[in-house]
Amino acid sequence: MPSLPLHDWNLAPIDAIALQKRLAGRVERKDRLDPVHRIAGVDIGFEQDGEITRAAVVVLAWPPAGEGAFEVVEQAVHREPTRMPYVPGLLSFREVPAALAAFEKLSARPQLVMVDGQGIAHPRRLGVASHLGLWLDLPTLGVAKKRLCGRHGEPGPARGDWAPLVDDRVGGRGDGRETIGAVLRSREGVKPVFVSSGHRLSLATALEWVVACLGRTKLPEPTRLADRLASRRDQKRR
DNA sequence: GCGACAG
DNA sequence: ATCTTGTCGC
Q: Is residue A153 part of a domain?
A: no
Nearest DNA or RNA nucleotide to A46 (CA to C1'):
C1
Nearest DNA or RNA nucleotide to A47 (CA to C1'):
C2
Q: Would you place residue A169 in the very low, low, confident or very high pLDDT band (cuts 50, 70, 90)? A: confident
- CATH number, domain at A186? 3.30.2170.10
Count of CA atoms in the C-beta half-sphere (13 A) of A231? 9
The set of residues with CB closer than 7 Å to nucleic strand B is: A 43-44, 50, 86, 88-92, 116-118, 122, 127-129, 142, 144-149
Q: Is residue A204 part of a domain?
A: yes
Q: Is residue A42 part of a domain?
A: yes
Signed CA dihedral, A48, A78, A207, A165: sign only: positive
Nearest DNA or RNA nucleotide to A117 (CA to C1'):
B6
Q: Is residue A173 part of a domain?
A: no
Q: Would you place residue A235 in the very low, low, confident or very high pLDDT band (cuts 50, 70, 90)? A: confident
Q: Is residue A155 part of a domain?
A: no
Distances (CA, A) of A222 to A51, A73, A126, A184, A218: 26, 11, 21, 16, 12
User: In this model, does residue A166 exceed pLDDT 70?
Assistant: yes
User: In this model, does residue A36 exceed pLDDT 70?
Assistant: yes
Total domain count, chain A: 1
Q: Is the CB of A230 under 7 A from strand C?
A: yes
Q: Is residue A63 part of a domain?
A: yes
Q: Is residue A197 part of a domain?
A: yes
Q: Is residue A71 part of a domain?
A: yes
Scan residues 155-214 of chain A and list those with Cβ within 7 Å of strand C. Answer: none
Q: Which domain holds residue A98?
A: 13-144+178-236
CA distance A17 to A167: 12
User: In this model, does residue A32 exceed pLDDT 70?
Assistant: no
Instruction: Please report the pLDDT score of residue A29 as a whole number.
Output: 44
User: In this model, does residue A18 exceed pLDDT 90?
Assistant: no
